[in-house]
């Protein structure tokens, strides 16, 4: 009788041990102008959280457009004057950003900073459409082909007034850095969330994939249109809902079209990328948003390790060729359409 009782108890004991072993711990910090949330499973400690947040702060200090003493600001100040040698990190992010500029024929262009500042994105961004004249003169300074890579970690912006903004890519890079650090610290399961730029490490403690919701672009934060089930992946969304203001009843958001100098005007509400590296996912989500559905699908379908979910303003959802394997749409107001159906509209 006693033996049976112990045997019956055993699974319960094992279960509670497992649960205890994989208890999650979360910490938030407001960094890079956004909320950064780290959730660690097993291996969490005060030092590890501190170390991870320090990395975010340190990298932001190198690459922030808003911070006057960042390496990026130094490159920008020396535009048209002289080349500047920077850290390997800053160099790598600028180099990758220009790689995506080439790949998207300039739809993604980090030299968009003069326009970003003119619109006040990142600062006030509170309801002021600039004059057409000022938009045109800042637009003339936007040209990724005028970034010169000269020697080891040395960069030069060819024209005075040119400026780089890494707002569309740096969070992804920094998330990758945090992951690298956590792995070195022996953390195998974690969720790194830098203002919606998400990396999931490993699987859930029960060995199932993590379930990450994709934001409904027309609802308040935390309301999702569907779920991505992933392990060891990054999920990054660019959308009209992230930063915007209204003027005369018209909505102006934070992703700019380098051709017009105005916020991108197409039928997209958001683009989500599911990929291996967050720097790529971050650059690609912004890129595909600017490119639109047709060109965006062509680009993403050429890539083996990345998938995209496009959400249009009329609540249609389109998948890249392998996205159906990781994403499921459940919101009843949204419906899936195929690329062919989309093109035939
Ligand atoms: P994300 O939220 O990652 O899509 O990035 C948007 C941010 O990237 C904006 O807040 C700007 O700082 C910057 N940005 C805006 N338009 C572009 C563009 N066409 N190419 C590159 N970066 C951009
Ligand atoms: Mg981005």
Look up the domain containing 125 and give its range: 70-157
Nearest ligand to the CA of 284 is 2
In whole angstroms, give the CA distance from residue 29 to residue 23.
20
Distance 314 CA to ligand 1 centre (A): 23
Output the domain CATH number for residue 128: 1.10.3980.10
Are 220 and 104 part of one and the same domain? no
In whole angstroms, give the CA distance from residue 96 to residue 184.
24
Residue where a domain stops, chosen among 157, 175, 195: 157
Tell me the average pLDDT across 225-244: 94
Does residue 102 or residue 33 have the better pLDDT? 102
Does residue 19 or residue 78 have the better pLDDT? 78
Are 219 and 315 part of one and the same domain? yes
Tell me the average pLDDT across 228-234: 98
Are 136 and 220 part of one and the same domain? no
Ligand 1 atom 1: residue of nearest CA: 168
Distance 281 CA to ligand 1 centre (A): 13
58-84: b or e for each residue (b if 16 or more CB lie within 10 Å)?
A: ebbebbbbeeeebbbbbbbeebeeeeb
What is the best residue among 112, 260, 264, 273 to mutate for testing ligand 1's pocket, by most ligand atoms within 8 Å of CB? 112
194, part of any domain: no
Angle between helices 170-184 and 46-63 (to 10 degrees): 150
**Angle CA 277–303–238, to nearest 5:** 55
> Total domain count for the chain?
2
Q: What is the pTM of this model?
A: 0.92
31, part of any domain: no
Summarised one tens digit per residue, pLDDT across range 247-292 is 888 888 899 999 999 999 999 999 999 999 999 999 999 999 999 9
What is the best residue among 121, 144, 286, 287 to mutate for testing ligand 1's pocket, by most ligand atoms within 8 Å of CB? 286
Output the domain CATH number for residue 218: 3.10.520.10
Distance 40 CA to ligand 2 centre (A): 24
User: For the chain, what percent of residues have pLDDT higher than 70?
Assistant: 91
61, part of any domain: no
Tell me the average pLDDT across 66-73: 96
65, part of any domain: no
Lowest-pLDDT choice from 55-69, 233-247, 266-280, 310-324 = 233-247
What is the best residue among 64, 100, 168, 289 to mutate for testing ligand 1's pocket, by most ligand atoms within 8 Å of CB? 168
Atom in ligand 1 nearest the alpha carbon of residue 97:
21
**Angle CA 282–317–297, to nearest 5:** 55
33, part of any domain: no
Model pLDDT, residue 74: 98
Nearest of 203, 167, 198 to residue 273 by alpha carbon: 198
Ligand 1 atom 6: residue of nearest CA: 168
Are 133 and 248 part of one and the same domain? no
Q: Which two tokens stand for residue 214?
A: 């994709």
Are 309 and 233 part of one and the same domain? yes
Residue where a domain stops, chosen among 119, 142, 157: 157
Distance 151 CA to ligand 1 centre (A): 27
Summarised one tens digit per residue, pLDDT across range 1-55 is 444 444 444 444 443 334 445 688 999 999 998 999 999 997 678 999 999 999 9
Distance 87 CA to ligand 2 centre (A): 22
Q: Which two tokens stand for residue 216?
A: 């409904």
Distance 255 CA to ligand 1 centre (A): 5
46, part of any domain: no
Are 149 and 216 part of one and the same domain? no
19, part of any domain: no
What is the best residue among 108, 172, 234, 254 to mutate for testing ligand 1's pocket, by most ligand atoms within 8 Å of CB? 254
Residue where a domain stops, chosen among 138, 157, 176: 157
Model pLDDT, residue 244: 80
Model pLDDT, residue 8: 45
Lowest-pLDDT choice from 131-135, 218-222, 329-333 = 218-222
Model pLDDT, residue 248: 81
Is the per-residue pLDDT at 191 higher than 50?
Answer: yes
In whole angstroms, give the CA distance from residue 96 to residue 91.
9
Nearest ligand to the CA of 289 is 1
- Region of residue 207 (phi > 0: left; psi between -120 and 50: alpha; otherwise: beta): left
Atom in ligand 1 nearest the alpha carbon of residue 236:
3
């Amino acid at each position: 009788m006693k033996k049976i009782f112990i045997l019956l108890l055993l699974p319960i004991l094992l279960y509670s041990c497992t649960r205890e072993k994989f208890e999650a711990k979360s910490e938030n910090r407001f960094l890079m102008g956004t909320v950064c949330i780290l959730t660690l499973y097993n291996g969490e400690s005060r030092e590890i959280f501190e170390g991870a947040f320090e990395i975010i702060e340190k990298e932001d200090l190198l690459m922030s457009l808003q911070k006057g003493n960042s390496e990026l600001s130094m490159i920008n100040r020396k535009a048209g004057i002289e080349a500047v040698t920077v850290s390997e990190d800053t160099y790598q992010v600028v180099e990758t950003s220009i790689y995506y500029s080439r790949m998207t024929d300039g739809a993604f262009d980090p030299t968009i900073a003069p326009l970003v500042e003119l619109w006040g994105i990142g600062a006030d961004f509170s309801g002021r459409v600039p004059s057409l004249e000022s938009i045109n003169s800042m637009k003339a300074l936007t040209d990724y082909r005028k970034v010169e890579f000269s020697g080891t970690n040395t960069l030069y912006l060819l024209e005075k007034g040119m400026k780089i903004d890494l707002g569309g890519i740096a969070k992804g890079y920094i998330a990758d850095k945090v992951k690298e650090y956590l792995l070195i610290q022996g953390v195998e399961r974690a969720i790194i969330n830098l203002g919606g730029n998400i990396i999931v490490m490993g699987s859930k403690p029960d060995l199932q994939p993590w379930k990450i919701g994709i934001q409904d672009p027309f609802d308040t934060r935390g309301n999702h249109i569907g779920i991505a089930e992933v392990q060891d992946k990054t999920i990054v969304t660019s959308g009209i809902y992230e930063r915007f203001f209204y003027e005369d009843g018209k909505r102006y958001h934070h992703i700019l079209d380098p051709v017009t100098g105005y916020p991108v005007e197409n039928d997209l509400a958001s683009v989500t990328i599911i990929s291996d590296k967050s720097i790529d996912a971050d650059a690609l989500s912004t890129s595909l948003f600017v490119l639109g559905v047709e060109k965006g699908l062509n680009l993403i379908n050429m890539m083996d390790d990345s998938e995209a979910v496009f959400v249009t303003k009329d609540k249609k959802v389109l998948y890249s060729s392998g996205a159906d394997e990781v994403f499921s749409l459940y919101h009843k107001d949204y419906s899936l359409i195929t690329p062919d159906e989309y093109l035939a509209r």
